[in-house]
Amino acid sequence: MTSPADAITNAVRSVTKAWRKQRIAEERDRNAVFHRQTRLMRSHRIGIREVAFDVMEEAYSIASGPERLPVKPGRL
């Protein structure tokens, strides 16, 4: 059975694991400072499907012209 102190210690270690690894890399190699943000910050990547749905309606309107050609919705 783990004590509350051990539980807290383990929680802190697991949360700071990535930061600790980055700091050790920075001590070994000064160029690692420049890579800190990309390694420690999460980024939102936009997939091709998301981009396609963002522009699809406008692209269809331009392609179909003023007549507004009928379309059957496809499966997603």
- Residues 10-39 pLDDT 10s: 999 888 888 888 788 877 777 777 777 677
pLDDT at 76: 45
Count CA atoms within 13 Å of residue 66 on its CB side. Answer: 0
Residues 6+ apart with CB under 8 A from 71: 60
DSSP string, 48-71: HHHHHHHHHHHHHHHHHGGG----
* pLDDT tens digit sequence for 38-53: 776 766 778 898 888 8
How far apart CA 66 and CA 48 sit, in angstroms, is 28
Under 8 Å between Cβ of 20 and 14: no
Nearest CA among 15, 16, 36 for reference residue 25: 36
